[in-house]
Chains A and B, each alone.
Chain A
Amino acid sequence: MVNDLFYFLIFPGFLFAAAGGGILSWFDRKITARVQFRKGPPFLQPFYDIIKLLAKETLVPRNSAKIPFLYAPVFALAGATLAAVFILLPAFGITTGFRGDLIVIYYFLTIPSVSWIIGAMATGNPLAITGASREMKLILSYELAFLLILAAVIYKSGMTLNVADIIDYQKQNGPLAASLSGILLLIAFVFCIQAKLGMVPFDIAEAETEITAGMFIEYSGFTYAMVKLTRYILLLVLPSFLVILFLGGFRWNGIGILWSVLKILAVVLVLTLVRNTNPRLKLGQAMRFFFVGMNLLVIAAFVLSLYGL
């Protein structure tokens, strides 16, 4: 139990994932700044943001359902942290009883969005409700594609649900991305995590210039710090998940460490470049993009993988 608490709270759970995600968030902001010919923030800026938020007062809207409003970010943070543990423990090669299969990970990666939606709905603020309703529809659009990608990964790595087995399979047979179907799946997966992270072009639920941060409009101080921490954790966890499923996982010895860090940075770089070179899609466009485009892409990849391509 003490071990499990350590995994959950410190490494690779809350503290490690939030710190790693914070650094990636700095990387994302720095690259964005360079793309826009700006200087960019200092290295510790993501952590200054959290400290600043903790010092501010926390506002609760008068007509809201207060308990769901206050505890939704807590559940979101818990869900993201557990997903981090399930994904990062096998990534570091640690085998314990504290683990979840791909289906469990899939469900825990949805918890942050779901609890934010409930929290936003609890405010009674029309802008928040608009944002939450958009987020729900975005979830509906990409969840099927996301699941079918996982199903294809399960199929390609010999019908196993276990993350550690998928890593082992790639160690013996080469990364899953090294095939035609693997590349197609990888492309679809990148778009799915772009949507999961709420990055442009899929930042429909927040849309600062349109519905003034939508779902998060009423969150401030401590509660918004939790939202930010959850997003840091997801920014580390989702790219790591991609590396584990498609790029052969990580190696933590010698030059392998450098490669592992570079893999993560490369994925985040792709996400950042996509978000800096695209305008925000309308809700209908995003839904069509995932429900028609991405699903067809994944199904095509699945069929290719049936023929061993």
Chain B
Amino acid sequence: MNAPGLIIIVPILAGLLLLCLPSALLRIKAWTAMAVSLFALVLAFMAIGEEKGLTWMVPFLKDYTSGDASGKLVTSLLRLTALRLDAISVWMTILAAFYAWIVSVYTLSSGKEGEPVPNFHGYVLITLGFAAGALLCDHLLFFLFCWGVLGLTLFMLIRGNNDEQAAAAKKSLIMIGASDSLMILGIGLLWIVQPSMNISGIHLGTDTPLAVGAFLCLLAGSLTKAGAFPFHTWVPDFAETGPAASSAFLPASVDKLLGIYLLARLCLGMFILNEWLVFLIILTGSVTIIAGVMMALAQHKFKKLLGYHAVSQVGYMILGIGIGTPVGIAGGLFHLFNNALYKTGLFLSAGNVEKQTGTDDIDQTGGLAAFMPFTFASSLVFALAISGVPPLNGFASKWLIYQGVIDLGSQGGVSATLWPLWLGMAVLGSALTLASFIKFLTGIFLGARREELASVKESNGFRCTPPVILALLCLASGILASGLVIPRMIMPLYQKFDFVGFWNSELISILVILSFVLGFLFYAMHKLVKIRVAESFTGGEPKKEEKPVVVGDFYLNITRAPFFEVIYRMAEKKWFDIYAWGKELVLATGKGLSILHTGLLPLYVLWAAAGLIILLLVFL
């Protein structure tokens, strides 16, 4: 079996094996998961060097060419498991394996502390295997199979013991499941329009209703997985109630990879979009950015806040890919990579804070920077990166996306004339992201210290290392963005382009670092800068009377502003939750049908007779 095939098979088998082991062997299970995901990561890196194009998951079956029934079965199986190696699929697989490894390092101490959810490690490996399958395969049915299993492992990775988790798990499963059925419908429509089932063999124009229908069904699947408006509502619930490790693995990284991978395949290969579909995708992206971040602004639970950002950030990727110019697409994909880095890191850091303080309420924490230095330092990097502060990586990818929007403005079409609107929404989203991360940082790490948290300690090494690694990667991919990362890694994913603007990340980063070094040298010169620690000045009020500032209510003047108040109230009543609408619809239908179920036998006989008459009328 070749390397790409092993990336799929080995984690799945190892994961199934781990499911069979008793929980007394938790430590062994955790280390096995770490080792297997590291093995998959190495294999995925080796796949970069492999020949690009189609390959077979089980190569030796290729020579099995007998003409009998079993031979036919083997050949069709062979066709089903064709793998497609190209820059996008290989890089996405590397990242999926990387995040599985990061999360399994994070949970290495579960031998002592217990698992986040039962059989966590086994399901992480199974998720990795099927995610690699979905990313690498070329046959739509095999793709659909992997995609379906991923919905199930998502459910298993959140389902804990309490009711809230069970409700969030059910919501996620139903939403993902519903989108899967839409995808089956989409693939069915696709099959009517053209007979090929190979992703690499489809290039369909969107000028017929059937093709547009197929595209929209598949688009719904990708948007639900990535967590974009209006299919996003499972993400915040998952993030709020699920364990941090699961949120970091699925909604923050692997589900984003899968959803955006499918979107990229749909927009850049399988379909040739007409201008209204482009408009629809760009609009979805822009609305997702604003809707997600506005909800994040109002949150008091920091994990839920991160969940809404997991929604908001996906808007940038959709916007970038929707723009469709090489620079926009590069921006969207680069943002996907960056977002996975900092969002996974944020969830893991939030998990550390929650573990050490026992709360996930911004109003109950504060001043932890001194007690949890590693978690704070990495969170600061992530928060600045996600807010797009230069020279970090979040800025570099947003810069590409903005350029894409301006590039779009110089072209023709419906969405091109509206370019200032897209640009305004994207940049406003960035400012709002900054605002909500100021709240996140202040509420947890900065701000007034609380006496009840004076005994909080930094997490253990296993839980601290992954955020630090991710923060260093955020720094590296930001600093090396314009000279190395974008031209060497991002451009080969789609095609080369020339920048519209100027951004020399290496030079600027060196100068920023130089400034910090100079600052450090000045502070170190005690003759010049005489530093003295003193009580802070609070306008002469006695210090003991001081109440900690309620950080959670920072943005009340926005959420209570005339127009926004109505929107927030509607959001609280779940007006924008497609799941709540679906539930209402199902319950109302059920109620309608239950009127017919009176339990009286004559009525049922009447229904049966009426049904028979209808059948007769139809068939005669």
Contact = CB atoms under 8 A, between A and B. Distances in A.
A124 B537 CA distance: 10
Interface stretch (B101-109, B210-218, B528-536, B593-601): B528-536
A230 B507 CA distance: 21
A60 B448 contact: no
Contact of A65 (B376, B388, B504): B376
A20 interface: no
Interface string B537-565: 11100000011010100110110010000
Nearest to A126: B549
Interface in A64-120: 64-66, 68, 70-71, 74-75, 77-78, 81-82, 97-104, 106-108, 110-111, 114, 117-118
B434 A64 contact: no
Contact of A140 (B390, B432, B518, B551): B432
Interface in B415-465: 419-420, 423-424, 427-428, 431-432, 434-435, 438, 441-442, 445-449
Contacts of B423: 147, 151
A95 to B, nearest CB: 11
B554 A118 contact: no
* B419, B449, B502, B538: residue with the most chain A Cβ atoms closer than 10 Å: B502
A125 B434 contact: no
B519 A71 contact: yes
B94 interface: no
Interface in A125-163: 125-127, 129-130, 132-133, 136-137, 139-140, 143-144, 147-148, 151-152, 154-155, 159, 161-162
B557 A287 contact: yes
Contact of A121 (B390, B435, B442, B528): B442
Interface stretch (B22-30, B131-139, B272-280, B508-516): B508-516
Interface in A48-73: 54, 57-66, 68, 70-71
Contacts of B445: 65
A293 interface: no
Contacts of A61: 533-536
Interface string B189-214: 00000000000000000000000000
A159 B388 contact: no
A62 B537 CA distance: 11
Given A58-B532, A140-B558, A143-B428, A130 B549 contact: yes
B534 A118 contact: no
B538 A127 contact: yes
Interface stretch (B147-155, B178-186, B403-411): B403-411
A111 B420 CA distance: 23
A111 B389 contact: yes
A114 B511 CA distance: 18
A4 interface: yes
Contact of A58 (B387, B410, B529, B547): B529
A10 to B, nearest CB: 13
A65 B536 contact: no
B367 A65 contact: yes
Contacts of B380: 68
A292 to B, nearest CB: 10
Contacts of B557: 137, 283-284, 287
A173 interface: no
B536 A124 contact: yes
A57 B367 contact: no
B522 interface: yes
Given A60-B534, A82-B511, A212 B558 contact: no
B501 interface: yes
A97 B504 CA distance: 8
A132 B442 CA distance: 10
A126 B389 contact: no
A65 B446 contact: yes
B511 A151 contact: no
A100 B503 contact: yes
B565 to A, nearest CB: 13
A124 B449 contact: yes
Contacts of B448: 63, 124, 126, 129
Contact of B502 (A66, A71, A99, A106): A99
B194 to A, nearest CB: 38
Given A58-B529, A60-B533, A118 B424 contact: no
Nearest to B530: A57
Contact of A62 (B390, B530, B536): B536
A46 to B, nearest CB: 20
A218 B529 contact: no
Contact of A4 (B367, B369, B503, B507): B507
B77 interface: no
Contact of B431 (A63, A101, A139, A302): A139
Given A63-B448, A107-B395, A118-B438, A71 B516 contact: yes
Contacts of A101: 500-503
A104 B399 contact: yes
B367 A124 contact: yes
A40 interface: no
Contacts of B514: 8
B533 A62 contact: yes
A74 B549 contact: no
Contacts of A211: 539
A57 B531 contact: yes
B402 interface: yes
A64 B531 CA distance: 14
A106 B523 CA distance: 30
B449 A63 contact: yes
B532 A125 contact: no
B370 interface: yes
A66 B449 CA distance: 13
A75 B518 CA distance: 11
A240 interface: no
A4 B447 CA distance: 38
Contact of B427 (A57, A122, A143): A143
A222 interface: yes
A122 to B, nearest CB: 5
Contact of B523 (A70, A77, A108): A70
Contact of A60 (B366, B503, B531): B531
A123 interface: yes
A74 to B, nearest CB: 4
A154 to B, nearest CB: 6
A211 to B, nearest CB: 8
Given A118-B438, A121-B442, A147 B538 contact: no
Contact of A155 (B409, B435, B561): B409
Most buried by A among B402, B445, B447, B539: B447
Contact of A77 (B441, B515, B529): B515
Contacts of A110: 431
Interface of B: 366-367, 369-370, 376, 380, 387-390, 395, 399, 402-403, 406, 409-410, 419-420, 423-424, 427-428, 431-432, 434-435, 438, 441-442, 445-449, 500-504, 507-508, 511-512, 514-516, 518-519, 522-523, 528-539, 546-547, 549, 551, 554-555, 557-558, 561
6 contacts: A70-B519, A107-B395, A125-B537, A132-B442, A143-B431, A221-B530
> Which 5 residue pairs spanning A and B have beta carbons closest together?
A101-B501, A74-B519, A78-B515, A61-B536, A65-B369
Given A65-B445, A122-B369, 14 more contacts: A97-B504, A100-B502, A106-B427, A114-B389, A121-B441, A122-B446, A127-B537, A129-B442, A129-B448, A140-B431, A148-B420, A151-B419, A161-B500, A222-B528
